[in-house]
Structure 1
C-alpha cells in the first residue's frame, strides 16, 4: 500500500504512519480468518503460548488476532512492541527478566509474566510501521536467525493480506462487496442524499452463533452458510441496494432512497429469509438465524457515524436475544461542521497538568473531536487535548463517552 503523495506534506513521521494505518481501515474490525491463521501459525511454528497480529495507533496496541491471551489491546506505553515500532526492525528478548528495558514491565512482573518475546514490524512499501507480529512465551528461549527470518516473512504476509483486502472489490466467498468497495458505495450515496435531501438507510446484520456452526460442522459448512445467506438476501433486495461483507460474519446493506420505517420492514423480510434457510450435509440440516440493526442517515452523519449507528442497533438486537430487528434512535445531535476522519496521536491533560493519558483522535470538526482512550470513565468534564504531531492544544468539555471513546467540544 502507498500513501497518496499529499499525505506526506508537512506531517511528522508518526502522522505519516497513522495516515497509512487510517487508509487501511483495519482498526477495531471483527476477526478475519486470514489473520487468525497467521496468529495461530506463530504459535505452532515456534511452539510458544501466545501469537499476536497487532496494529498500533496513537495510544495502544490493538490485536487484530490473538491466541493465548484474553485481552484485545494493551496500552502502548506498557508493550514490548513499542520498541519494535520505534526501531523499525525485529526485537528479540530471550529472557525479559534479564533485559534492562523490560525486567520491571508490568507484563513481566505480573500477569501474564512474559519471559520470551519476539516481534517483527508490519511495514508498508513506504517503510511505515503500522503494526507487529509477536511470538510470546512465559518461558525463556533462544531465537536464531532462521526463526527471525520466518517471523519477518509472517509479518510480510500480514501486510500482503492487508493489501489484498484493500484491492478487492468483491468478497470471493459470498459475492458481496468488499469492505472497502461497500464504504465507497456508501460515501457516494451519502453525498447524493445530502445534496438532494434524499432518505438513506443502512442495515447491519450478522449470523447468530456463527462460531458454533464452525466448531460443530467445520469451516467448509460455515462458508456454505455465509454464501447461502447472502444469496438468499439478494433475492429480497432491489438492484439499487448494495450488500457488503464488513467482517467475518458481519455484513451491511445500503438502501438508497429508503426511510427508516421501510428499512425496518426490509430487515424483517430478510430475517425470515435467513431463518427459513436449510443447509444439507448434516442430520438435521443446518439452520441459522440472524440479527439486524437499522439506521437512517442523520443530518450531521458522516460515513463512520452513519454505519456505527446501524452497528449499535445490531448489538442491541444481539443483546436482546438475537433473531430480531432493532432500529437506531433518530440522530438529534448538534451539527458537526466540516467533520473529517483522522487518526492522530494525542494526549489528554487534566488535574492542573499533573495527570496525562495518551489517546488517539479519530475525528475532528470545527469545534470538537472524537477521541479513543483506554479508560474513558476516569476523565473529568474539563480537560485539555494536545495533538502531538502539531502541538495544537484545545481546552475541552466532555459531551459523551462510551466504553472506549469520548466526544468533546472545544471551549
Structure 2
C-alpha cells in the first residue's frame, strides 16, 4: 500500500507530468459521461454482495471530478476530485485500503468522513488500460471500520480485471444498449469514413449535434427510470425524422449526433428543424405524469478542403451551445469563426484573486480564441481569470462568455 500524500506527488514524483497521457487514455475509451450499463452495474452488485459493503463504485477520473460509471449505495453520480479517496490510487497506480478513516490523520478531515456520509472503510483498485495509464477505480466502501484480508484484496483485484475486460468489450460494441442507436465509438468510426468519402468525391456532408433540454431536471424530478424512458422516446423520434441513409448515434448521457450525407447547410437546417419538431412532440407517460421533451440542435457542414470530421462535430457542438444560450428548443447553424476549437480532454487550473485562489478544471474544447471548460460549480468561477494548461506550459487570460451549472465557455483576452 502507498502512503497517502497530496494526489499529485507520490515517492517524490510529480504525477501531474503524466496527467496529459492519462487523460488521453481516458479520452480514447469514449466512456466518460456515458449512460449506465447493466454489465457494470452487475459488477458493482458483486462487490456489494461479496464483501458485504453498503457502497460499491466503478469510477472514472478526469481532471476535476470522479464520475461514477456504476454506483450502488450513494445518490451522487460524481464527486469533486479533491475530496475523493480514489484520487490516491489514480495517482499512484497502486491499491489502497483504509481500515478506519477516522484514525488516519491524512484523510480524517475529508468531508466524506466528517460529513453526513461518514465513510470509515475504503478499498480501491486502480483501473489501468493496456499502456499502464490509470483511468479510474473500482472500490468498496463501508460506513463502519473493518479489516480487509489479502484474500479480499485479491478478489477485488479480480473484479477490477473483469471491469477492464468489460470496458474492452464495450469498445467493439456497435449499438447503445438503451436506445439501440449507434454507440459513440461506432458512430465516430462510420462518420470518419463518410467524411473521407465526401472529401474524395467532393460531396456535401453535414452534422447535427442534439442535446435534450433540462434533462438533469427530468432525472432529478422523476427519477432515472423516467430519464431512460425519455431518452428512448427521443432516440425513436429522432431516428424517424431522419432519412434511412443518415447516421445517428448517442454520444453521451443526453447528447446525440446525426450525420447527413449529400446534404448542404440549407438541407441540414431543414432536417434539423424536422428533427427538433419531432422531439418537441415526444410525450412520455408514467402513471399520472406526462413528461415532454425538447432539444437544442446545432448544424454544421463539412469543410471540403480539410475533410476533418472532428472539426465538423466541434462546429456542430458550438452551434448547439449557441442554441442553448439563445433559449433552448431551437436550431442554430454554425456560421464560422476566425479560429477553430477542437474537442480535447486536458487538465487545467483556473487562477484568480491575485493568484491566491485556484480551481481545478477539465478542458473539453480548445482553440486559439477560447475554450469550453468543465468545472465542479460554475458559480464559483469569476468572470475573468487566468487559465493554466500544464501540458502546454501556458497561461491564458480568460473572460467568461456563458455558464451552465458545471460548464463555462470562455474567450481568451
Structure 2: how far apart are the matches of 1:194 and 1:19? 28
Q: In the alignment, which residue of structure 1 is the partner of 2:331? A: 328
Q: Pairwise mapping of residues 69-84 of structure 1 onto structure 2 (< 5 A)?
A: 69-84=74-89
Using the TM superposition, give the Cα deviation of residue 204 of structure 1 relative to its aligned residue in structure 2, in angstroms. Answer: 4.3
Residues 12-411 of structure 1: matches in 2 within 5 Å? 12-170=17-175, 176-187=181-192, 198=204, 200-202=206-208, 204=210, 237-246=242-251, 252-256=257-261, 257=263, 258-266=267-275, 268=277, 294-297=297-300, 302-304=312-314, 306-307=316-317, 326-331=329-334, 334-337=337-340, 339-411=341-413
CA drift of 1:149 comes to: 1.6
Q: TM-score, normalised by structure 1?
A: 0.76
Query: In structure 2, how many angstroms separate the alpha carbons of the residues matched to 1:409 and 1:311?
Result: 14
Cα deviation digits, residues 76-96 of structure 1 (max 9, x gap): 221111111122111111111
Given that residues 175 and 181 in structure 2 are in contact (C-alpha distance below 8 angstroms), is that contact kept between their aligned partners in structure 1? Answer: yes
Contact conserved, 2:296 with 2:331, CA < 8 A, in 1?
yes
In structure 2, what is the Cα distance between the partners aligned to 1:79 and 1:88?
15
User: Could you list the runs of 5+ residues in structure 2 that have no partner in the other structure?
Assistant: 1-15, 285-290, 304-310
Instruction: Say whether the 8 Å CA contact 2:99–2:146 is kept in structure 1.
Output: yes
Report how far residue 22 of structure 1 moved.
Answer: 1.1
Count of aligned pairs: 376
CA distance in 2: counterparts of 1:271 and 1:370, whole angstroms: 27
Is the 8 Å Cα contact of residues 33 and 248 (structure 1) preserved in structure 2?
no
8 Å Cα contact 1:182-1:243 kept in structure 2: yes
After superposition, the Cα gap between the structure-2 partners of 1:95 and 1:69, relative to the gap in structure 1 and judged at 3 Å, is same
**Alpha-carbon distance in 1 for matches of 2:70, 2:84:** 16
| Distance (whole Å) between structure 2 residues aligned to residue 299 and residue 102 of structure 1 | 51
Separation (CA, whole Å) in 2 of partners of 1:205 and 1:391:
33
Structure 1 position 34, deviation (Å): 2.1
Q: Distance in 2 between matches of 1:388 and 1:247?
A: 27
CA deviation string 1:19-54 (max 9, x = no partner):
101111222222222222222322222221111111
Deviation larger for 153-162 or 90-99:
153-162
Mapped to 1, the partners of 2:244 and 2:68 lie a distance apart of: 37
Q: Is the 1:89–1:120 Cα contact (8 Å) retained in structure 2?
A: yes
CA RMSD of aligned residues (A): 4.1
Which blocks of at least 5 consecutive residues in structure 1 are unaligned?
1-10, 277-287, 320-325
CA distance in 2, matches of 1:247, 1:354: 35
1:126 to partner: Cα distance: 1.0
* SS in structure 1 at match of 2:146: coil
Q: Quote the offset at 1:259 in angstroms.
A: 2.6
